[in-house]
Every structure is written in structure tokens, then in C-alpha cells.
């Protein structure tokens, strides 16, 4: 039995021609944004990748097949489907083996991208150490994946609903390079800055590509996290978003939300509390990340 890996025609052609490819995840579509903005955003993000000289590969498991690149109909169906699994390293193979359908998180998308030979991936914000993790032990599998799988992940930092200092500590322990793009501070998803310094800073896609290539030559396993701040015009200032996050966290606790349910619950709650402003910011930051990821992929393919 071989792995049911399906490359879209566009991705297949790009692989053959050596055109740079940028992987995109699907949990942001099924669990991160409401319909129809989720599908509109997925298409807009793919368009940003194409405009920037690369080919987009949105990744998902559909009826037991691991798809690298979705067509219009597949994207549309996934964006409206109910009860889609949220896949990570632990359950991705089980979903494929049992003919299931699931959206890929950052961890699962990294695994799939690597299987398809894609080394750059754009998303919104990675999962990380949840607040209260000292008692709940809720730490996203995204962090360990970054330490194992050689894919450069472009995100607007980690979502500000998380415990950012602990997230950075775990990434350091795991040996993951955390590189802020064009600034010293670690970005906080909806806001450009946190009060934390990023461990590393780079100012050009070429430096980021060279860093990934150097790690590979050194035989260092794992990828790198590129923390790309949200564009200034789209950011929600920290003073404005902080009380909203606190309220959402308190509601999640009162409602007994845990494990994989936490992040989608909080994002939805914050969306309603900000009357959609958090979603507009999220869309802007994903597009911005897709642009940088495309530039990095181009630089890697020219190296
Ligand atoms: N980026 C977004 N929205 C999202 C995600 C990323 O802008 O919803 C998803 C990613 O798939 C990431 C997941 O892996 O959130 C993290 O979930 P958790 O905290 O349960 O590990």
C-alpha cells in the first residue's frame, strides 16, 4: 500500500518545473474563521502567493487522501463542511487510514509539506503554550513539530491568547530558531509588538533562506519560525485587544473548554467581541505572511 498523496495539477507542474511552492494550512479555514470569509481568505491568500511568483499548495485530508493543493470545489466544500477533524501529528495517519476528512494544523501541514518536498509554509499564528499550562499541560504539538520537521513556517508570531513567554521558552528548549522579521520584538499576532525580545532578527528573505539552507547543511533537524509582524495599517493595539483576550479566556474556563477546542473557541469569542475587527486583522496578517513566504521560497529555489 502506498500513501494516498495527491498533488494538484498546479503543484505537480511546479514540482516538475522547479517553481517555488508555498504550503498553506486548512485548520485556519475550518476552525479559525467563519464561512464565507474563510473560503474568501483562502483564495485571496493563494492569489497573494501567485502574485509573488510562487505556487500555493493548500493541504488537507479529504476522504482518506492527503491533498497537496486543493481545487476550487474542494476548497469550497471544506469551508462549509461540519464536524471536520482538526489534525495534528498524533491523529493524521489515523484519519488517512480510516478514510476520514480533516483539516491540517501547523504541525500536520509541516509533515505533509515535507512529504511533498515543500520547504516553506505560511499561516496566521502557530499554536503554543496555553495560559495555565502549568496545571493543564496544554502545549500545542506545533512546537515540537518545528523542532523535528525541516520546514520554514511564516507566522505573525504565536496567537496572543497564549502564554507568549512560555511559548518562547519551549521553542528555545527545543532548539527552534525564532526569527523576527524586520524588528527586534516578538510580534503578538493581532499586534505588531509584544514586550518580549525575539531571540533572532533578520531583515531579508535571502537571509532567512540562507539560514534554512545552512541548518540543513549542518544536519540540524527541524524548521524555523519566522515571526512576521502584522502590517501597521491592520494591527489592533495591544491595549485594545488585551482585555478582550482576558474576557474570552475567562469565558473558556467557565464553559469548561479544553484541548483542541480552546483555540477555535477563543478566536470565535474574540471575533464577536471585536465586532469582526479581529478577523479583519487575521486576514491581513495571513496575506502578509503569504507574501514573505513566497519571497523566501523564491530565494531558496535560486540558492
Ligand atoms: N492561524 C490562524 N488561525 C488558526 C490557526 C493558525 O490565523 O486557527 C490554527 C493552526 O492550524 C494552528 C492551530 O496549528 O490554530 C493551533 O491550535 P492549538 O492551539 O489547538 O494547537
**Mutation choice for ligand 1 from 23, 26, 28, CB with most ligand atoms inside 8 A:** 28
Nearest to 128 by CA among 26, 266, 234: 266
Whether 96 lines ligand 1, by a CB cut-off of 6 Å, is: no
Question: What is the pLDDT, as a whole number, of residue 259?
Answer: 87
Residues of the chain with pLDDT under 50: none
Residues near 52 by Cβ (< 8 Å), separated by ≥ 6?
A: 290, 291, 294, 295, 298
Q: Which residue range(s) make up the domain with 130? A: 5-302
Cα separation, 158 vs 161, whole angstroms? 8
- The proportion of the chain whose per-residue pLDDT surpasses 90, expressed as a percent, equals 98
Answer whether 222 contacts ligand 1 (Cβ < 6 A). no
Using left for φ > 0, alpha for ψ between -120 and 50, and beta otherwise, residue 177 falls in beta
Number of domains forming the structure of the chain:
1
32 Cβ closer than 6 Å to some ligand 1 atom = yes
Kindly give the distance from the C-alpha atom of residue 207 to the centroid of ligand 1, in angstroms, as a whole number: 26
For ligand 1, the distance from its centroid to the CA atom of residue 15, given in whole angstroms, is 27
With beta carbons less than 8 A apart as the criterion, state whether 171 and 143 touch: yes
DSSP annotation of 126: B
* Ligand 1 center from residue 14 Cα (angstroms): 27
Q: pTM of the entire structure?
A: 0.97
Whether 123 lines ligand 1, by a CB cut-off of 6 Å, is yes
Q: Catalytic residues, which ones?
A: 25, 159
Pick the residue whose CA is nearest to atom 18 on ligand 1: 127
Residue with cell 521560497: 297
Atom of ligand 1 nearest to the CA of 123: 1
CATH of the domain at 247: 3.40.1790.10
Annotated binding-site residue numbers for substrate:
86, 106, 140-142
Give the pLDDT of residue 4. Answer: 95
Q: Distance between the two ends of the chain, CA-based, in angstroms?
A: 36
Residue set of the binding site for Mn(2+): 138
Phi, psi of 106, deg, nearest 5: -55, -45
pLDDT (0 to 100) of residue 1: 76
Amino acid at each position: 500500500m502506498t500513501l494516498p498523496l495527491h498533488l494538484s495539477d498546479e503543484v505537480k507542474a511546479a514540482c516538475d518545473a522547479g517553481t517555488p511552492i508555498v504550503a498553506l494550512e486548512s485548520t485556519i479555514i475550518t476552525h479559525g474563521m467563519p464561512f464565507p470569509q474563510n473560503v474568501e481568505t483562502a483564495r485571496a491568500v493563494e492569489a497573494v502567493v501567485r502574485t509573488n511568483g510562487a505556487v500555493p499548495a493548500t493541504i488537507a485530508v479529504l476522504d482518506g487522501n492527503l491533498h497537496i493543493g486543493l481545487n476550487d470545489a474542494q476548497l469550497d466544500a471544506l469551508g462549509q463542511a461540519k464536524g471536520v477533524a482538526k489534525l495534528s501529528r498524533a491523529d493524521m495517519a489515523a484519519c488517512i487510514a480510516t478514510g476520514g476528512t480533516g483539516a491540517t494544523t501547523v504541525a500536520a501541514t509541516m509533515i505533509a509539506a515535507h512529504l511533498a518536498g515543500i520547504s516553506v509554509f505560511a499561516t496566521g499564528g502557530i499554536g503554543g503554550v496555553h495560559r495555565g499550562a502549568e496545571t493543564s499541560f496544554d502545549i500545542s504539538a506545533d512546537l515540537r513539530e518545528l523542532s523535528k520537521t525541516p520546514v520554514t513556517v511564516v507566522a505573525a508570531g504565536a496567537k496572543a491568547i497564549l502564554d507568549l513567554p512560555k511559548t518562547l521558552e519551549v521553542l528555545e528548549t527545543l532548539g527552534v530558531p525564532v526569527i523576527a522579521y524586520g524588528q527586534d520584538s516578538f510580534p503578538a499576532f493581532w499586534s505588531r509588538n509584544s514586550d518580549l525580545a525575539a531571540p533572532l532578527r533578520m531583515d531579508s528573505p535571502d537571509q532567512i533562506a540562507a539560514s534554512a539552507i545552512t541548518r540543513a547543511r549542518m544536519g540540524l533537524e527541524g524548521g524555523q519560525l519566522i515571526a512576521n509582524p502584522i502590517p501597521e495599517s491592520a494591527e489592533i493595539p495591544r491595549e485594545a485587544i488585551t482585555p478582550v483576550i482576558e474576557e474570552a479566556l475567562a469565558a473558556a474556563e467557565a464553559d469548561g473548554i479544553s484541548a483542541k477546542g480552546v483555540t477555535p473557541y477563543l478566536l470565535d469569542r474574540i471575533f464577536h467581541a471585536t465586532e469582526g475587527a479581529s478577523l479583519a486583522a487575521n486576514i491581513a496578517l495571513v496575506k502578509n505572511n503569504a507574501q514573505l513566504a513566497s519571497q523566501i521560497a523564491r530565494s531558496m529555489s535560486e540558492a
